[in-house]
């Protein structure tokens, strides 16, 4: 078996891929990115384009009062949140704060949110890229959505029944979680997380050398959100996806060179896709073949070099996206600096791990698609749709034909190239990450909007475009400006998610409020009481539109004041708020929810509190006073 290193080194030609070096993208071509425009789009006459666009628009139109067919969950990038859109209308329905602080709901301000954010609440920012929904046998189960925080090495989970973040885990031993995907089969037991940057191990200032620097692949237990295990890898880790057997996960690596500079990361003709064998990793841990690092208890398996738990399949240089086809047959790695995608046949991986075939034998096609392939998505009818960042296009291509072409048959695998506006990163077809891929809609997340919208100063919105892919031809139907930065999104059929209209009084989201109330002998649903406990004061009050159960309470300057508000309204949509003037305190209290917030009472005097969520004709009148006395 040929060693991986022989296959990635700076060879004059990469014979098995059929591409010579000069066909790979160099730095010079990348420098021209901003000015690049699409060339190869399908030619249509003005009339036929107008007719096609009209028909597509009709399909996308969701009239007032009608409901969308899909939920779309959009990553909010370095804005740190998740956004919920209806598709095909592309109307924003909700924002779910995750790693950010949210003034309206009090995320990052309330005790409940601080508890979930844990010790990591020292960070007020996050950088979300990849939202993914939990699965049962390769189909969305509608329970959870998971998302990474590249900025502060965290992963969060959102409960989809209430659309609130309910767990945040800080990942030890690594830096910058980027690629994130879920185990699809038999169900989402693991959340797989790629840490992008290599760091010294241990990273305690005792050593800054590259020799002792590496990164790791992390698996979280999806239910507990504890770290289950980590695997040390060669190179770095970019994007990832899992298969439909539950056994394999694959990740792209663009920095096999472990370089610290741009030119260095492009030195090798090939980097690789590293494939993880989940069964073997679990067996290694069972057999005690692991170590721990520093004070972390996480079992760490060494997956470097000729390890039994990994295989490094060479692919053209600096690959980016990694996407499993919904028929479960292929991992497709997107070339980025190479105009190609590499199609890995998953059925060959057993033989690869048993050393019966060579690394490159798993590649069964490497179609040339255009400049800057970043991500690929699928319609469930055998076609793939790949974003071409530099060409500003989406290319539709047929996987079976690409395989035939790789085997020497004279077939054209390109079906269509469509201009998008501009420089697309991710794209996502409806239900594409599941067995139910239905090939109706394609969302393309364009990084640049340039001239598509009214100018708003030097900082531009991005442009999320909706494309109808239900027919033979892709048709662009909608431009949607979006604030920083929807890296990725996921579409789910609306019947696949069941949301609550009002909270259950027993909901775990505010279990800690109930625990404290029990200790204080307070019944949240009935009592309006002030409990003093040294310089700690707990104020329990109810709310029913449009009044709080307590119009006044007294505390002393410097007291640590906790206010617990229980919304007794049972009517859908009657959310109250609690805002304490001049104390930086604001929160949402939805029907049947209890929410709490803790603050330090300011200088002696009167401070009004008021309801800041419009709840009633007399909403303005819903308020009360905190009287602060001299300490
Ligand atoms: S990555 S634009 Cu952060 Cu998903 Cu590819
Ligand atoms: Cu209660 Cu506004
Ligand atoms: Ca590289």
Using the atom order of ligand 1, give the atom closest to the CA of residue 387: 2
Query: What are phi and psi for residue 19, nearest 5 degrees?
Result: -120, 135
At which residue do the structure tokens 């076609």 appear? 383
What does the alpha-carbon distance between residue 240 and residue 177 come to, in Å, rounded to a whole number? 11
What does the alpha-carbon distance between residue 181 and residue 582 come to, in Å, rounded to a whole number? 43
Using the atom order of ligand 2, give the atom closest to the CA of residue 622: 1
Stretch 23-36: mean pLDDT: 42
Using the atom order of ligand 2, give the atom closest to the CA of residue 612: 2
Is the Cβ atom of 372 under 6 angstroms away from ligand 1?
Answer: no
At which residue do the structure tokens 């994007």 appear? 239
Stretch 364-385: mean pLDDT: 98
Is the Cβ atom of 150 under 6 angstroms away from ligand 1?
Answer: no
**Sequence-distant (≥ 6) Cβ neighbours of residue 214 within 8 angstroms:** 198, 199, 201, 232, 233, 234, 304
What was the pLDDT predicted at 315? 98
**Digit-coded pLDDT (tens) for 460-517:** 999 999 999 999 999 999 999 999 999 999 999 999 999 999 999 999 999 999 999 9
Q: Judge whether 251 and 296 are in contact, CB under 8 Å.
A: no
271 CA → ligand 3 middle, Å = 5
What does the alpha-carbon distance between residue 568 and residue 368 come to, in Å, rounded to a whole number? 61
Pick out the residues of the known binding site: 129-130, 178, 320, 375, 426, 487, 576, 611, 613, 615, 619, 622
Q: Judge whether 116 and 143 are in contact, CB under 8 Å.
A: no
628 CA → ligand 3 middle, Å = 62
- Across-strand partners of 388? 373, 393
Is the Cβ atom of 488 under 6 angstroms away from ligand 1?
Answer: yes
Is the Cβ atom of 316 under 6 angstroms away from ligand 1?
Answer: no
Task: Look at ligand 2, atom 1, and give the residue with the nearest C-alpha.
Answer: 576
Query: What are phi and psi for residue 507, nearest 5 degrees?
Result: -60, 135
What does the alpha-carbon distance between residue 369 and residue 391 come to, in Å, rounded to a whole number? 10
pTM (two decimals): 0.93
Domain parsing of the chain, residue ranges = 26-62+69-496, 508-629
Give the mutation target among 148, 193, 488, 490 for probing the ligand 1 site: most ligand atoms within 8 A of CB.
488
583 CA → ligand 2 middle, Å = 19
Best CA proximity match to 492, nearest among 424, 437, 425: 437
What does the alpha-carbon distance between residue 307 and residue 274 come to, in Å, rounded to a whole number? 11
Is the Cβ atom of 130 under 6 angstroms away from ligand 1?
Answer: yes
Please report which ligand is nearest the Cα atom of 462.
Answer: 1
Q: Judge whether 376 and 332 are in contact, CB under 8 Å.
A: yes
Task: Look at ligand 1, atom 3, and give the residue with the nearest C-alpha.
Answer: 129
Averaged pLDDT score across all residues of the chain:
93
**Digit-coded pLDDT (tens) for 85-112:** 999 999 999 999 999 999 999 999 999 9
State percent of the chain over pLDDT 90: 89
What does the alpha-carbon distance between residue 326 and residue 345 come to, in Å, rounded to a whole number? 13
Using the atom order of ligand 2, give the atom closest to the CA of residue 611: 2
Has residue 147 got a pLDDT over 80? Answer: yes
Is the Cβ atom of 336 under 6 angstroms away from ligand 1?
Answer: no
Using the atom order of ligand 1, give the atom closest to the CA of residue 129: 3
Is the Cβ atom of 545 under 6 angstroms away from ligand 2?
Answer: yes
What does the alpha-carbon distance between residue 123 and residue 109 come to, in Å, rounded to a whole number? 13
Q: From the CB of residue 486, how many other CB atoms can be counted at a distance below 10 Å?
A: 30
Is the Cβ atom of 589 under 6 angstroms away from ligand 2?
Answer: no
Name the strand (E) or helix (H) holding 264: helix 262-265
**Sequence-distant (≥ 6) Cβ neighbours of residue 594 within 8 angstroms:** 510, 513, 514, 524, 564, 565, 566, 567
Name the strand (E) or helix (H) holding 274: strand 270-277
**Sorting pLDDT into bands at 50, 70 and 90, what band is 18?**
very low
Show the tokens assigned to 105. Answer: 């709901």
Using the atom order of ligand 2, give the atom closest to the CA of residue 619: 2
Q: Judge whether 510 and 448 are in contact, CB under 8 Å.
A: no
Stretch 318-336: mean pLDDT: 98
Please report which ligand is nearest the Cα atom of 259.
Answer: 3
What does the alpha-carbon distance between residue 611 and residue 623 come to, in Å, rounded to a whole number? 6
- Domain 26-62+69-496, CATH number (from 2.130.10.10, 3.20.10.10, 3.40.50.11740, 2.30.110.10): 2.130.10.10
238 CA → ligand 1 middle, Å = 8
Please report which ligand is nearest the Cα atom of 623.
Answer: 2
Is the Cβ atom of 181 under 6 angstroms away from ligand 1?
Answer: no
DSSP helix/strand/coil, 345: strand
Best CA proximity match to 250, nearest among 327, 176, 303: 303
Class of residue 378 by CB neighbours under 10 A (exposed 0-12, middle 13-18, buried 19+): buried
What does the alpha-carbon distance between residue 612 and residue 4 come to, in Å, rounded to a whole number? 61
Please report which ligand is nearest the Cα atom of 10.
Answer: 3
- Domain 508-629, CATH number (from 1.20.1560.10, 2.60.40.420, 1.10.600.10, 1.25.40.850): 2.60.40.420
607 CA → ligand 2 middle, Å = 18
What was the pLDDT predicted at 120? 72
What was the pLDDT predicted at 45? 61
| Cα-based distances in Å from 232 to 363, 374, 419, 574 | 24, 25, 40, 50
* Cα angle: 540, vertex 544, 545; to 5 degrees: 135
6 CA → ligand 3 middle, Å = 15
Please report which ligand is nearest the Cα atom of 263.
Answer: 3
Pick out the residues of the known binding site for Cu cation: 129-130, 178, 320, 375, 426, 487, 576, 611, 613, 615, 619, 622
601 CA → ligand 2 middle, Å = 23
Is the Cβ atom of 622 under 6 angstroms away from ligand 2?
Answer: yes
**Sorting pLDDT into bands at 50, 70 and 90, what band is 56?**
confident
Best CA proximity match to 505, nearest among 524, 527, 522: 524
Has residue 7 got a pLDDT over 80? Answer: no
**Digit-coded pLDDT (tens) for 416-452:** 999 999 999 999 999 999 999 999 999 999 999 999 9
Is the Cβ atom of 611 under 6 angstroms away from ligand 2?
Answer: yes
Is the Cβ atom of 320 under 6 angstroms away from ligand 1?
Answer: yes
Is the Cβ atom of 132 under 6 angstroms away from ligand 1?
Answer: no
**Sorting pLDDT into bands at 50, 70 and 90, what band is 59?**
confident
Stretch 223-250: mean pLDDT: 98
Please report which ligand is nearest the Cα atom of 571.
Answer: 2
Is the Cβ atom of 374 under 6 angstroms away from ligand 1?
Answer: yes
**Digit-coded pLDDT (tens) for 547-595:** 999 999 999 999 999 999 999 999 999 999 999 999 999 999 999 999 9
């Amino acid at each position: 078996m040929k060693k991986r290193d022989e296959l990635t080194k700076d060879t004059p030609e990469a014979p098995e891929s059929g591409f010579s070096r000069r066909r790979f993208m160099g730095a010079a071509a990348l420098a021209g990115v901003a000015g690049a425009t699409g060339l190869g789009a399908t030619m249509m006459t003005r009339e036929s384009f107008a007719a096609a666009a009209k028909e597509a628009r009709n399909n996308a139109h969701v009239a007032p009062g009608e409901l969308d067919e899909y939920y779309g969950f959009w990553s909010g990038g370095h804005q740190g949140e998740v956004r919920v859109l209806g598709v095909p209308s592309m109307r924003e329905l909700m924002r779910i704060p995750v790693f950010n602080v949210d003034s309206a709901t009090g995320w990052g301000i309330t005790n409940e949110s601080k508890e979930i954010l844990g010790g990591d609440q020292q960070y007020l920012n996050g950088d979300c890229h990849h939202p993914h929904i939990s699965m049962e046998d390769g189909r969305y189960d509608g329970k959870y959505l998971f998302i990474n925080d590249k900025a502060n090495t965290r992963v969060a989970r959102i409960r989809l029944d209430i659309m609130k973040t309910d767990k945040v885990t800080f990942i030890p031993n690594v830096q910058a979680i980027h690629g994130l995907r879920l185990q699809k089969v038999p169900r989402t037991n693991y959340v797989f997380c790629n840490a992008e940057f290599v760091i010294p191990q241990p990273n305690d200032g005792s050593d800054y050398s590259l020799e002792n620097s590496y990164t790791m692949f992390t698996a979280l237990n999806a239910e507990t959100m504890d770290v289950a295990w980590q695997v040390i890898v060669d190179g770095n880790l970019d994007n990832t996806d899992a298969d439909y057997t539950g056994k394999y996960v694959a990740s792209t690596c663009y920095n096999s060179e472990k370089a610290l500079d741009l030119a260095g990361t492009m030195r090798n003709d090939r980097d690789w896709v590293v494939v993880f064998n989940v069964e073997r990793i679990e067996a290694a841990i069972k057999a005690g073949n692991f170590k721990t690092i520093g004070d972390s208890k996480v079992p760490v398996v060494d997956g470097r070099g000729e390890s039994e738990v990994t295989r490094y399949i060479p692919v053209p240089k600096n690959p980016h996206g990694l996407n499993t086809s919904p028929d479960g047959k292929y991992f497709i790695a997107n070339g980025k600096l190479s105009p190609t995608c590499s199609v890995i046949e998953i059925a060959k991986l057993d033989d690869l791990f048993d050393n019966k075939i060579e690394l490159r034998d798993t590649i069964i096609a490497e179609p040339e698609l255009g400049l800057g392939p970043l991500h690929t998505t699928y319609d469930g009818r055998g076609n793939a749709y790949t974003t071409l960042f530099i060409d500003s296009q989406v290319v539709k291509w047929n996987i079976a034909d690409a395989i035939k072409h790789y085997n020497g048959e004279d077939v054209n695998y390109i079906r269509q190239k469509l201009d998008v506006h501009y420089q697309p990163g991710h794209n996502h077809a409806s239900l594409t990450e599941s067995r139910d891929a239905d090939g109706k809609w394609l969302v393309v997340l364009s990084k640049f909007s340039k001239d598509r919208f009214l100018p708003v100063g030097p900082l531009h919105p991005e442009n999320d475009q909706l494309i109808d892919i239900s027919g033979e031809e892709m048709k662009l139907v909608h431009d949607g400006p979006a604030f920083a930065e929807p890296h990725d999104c996921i579409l789910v059929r609306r019947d696949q998610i069941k949301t609550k209209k009002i909270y259950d009084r027993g909901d775990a989201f505010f279990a800690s409020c109930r625990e404290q109330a029990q200790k204080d002998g307070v019944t949240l649903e009935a009592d309006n009481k002030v409990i003093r406990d040294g310089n700690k004061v707990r104020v329990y009050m109810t709310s029913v539109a449009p009044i709080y159960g307590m119009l006044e309470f007294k505390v002393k300057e410097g007291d640590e004041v906790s206010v617990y508000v229980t919304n007794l309204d049972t009517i859908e949509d009657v959310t109250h708020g609690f805002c304490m003037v001049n104390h930086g305190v604001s929160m949402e209290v939805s029907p049947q929810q209890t929410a709490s917030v803790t603050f330090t009472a300011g200088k002696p005097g009167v401070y009004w509190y008021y309801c800041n969520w419009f709840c009633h004709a007399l909403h303005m009148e819903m308020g009360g006073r905190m009287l602060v006395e001299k300490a």
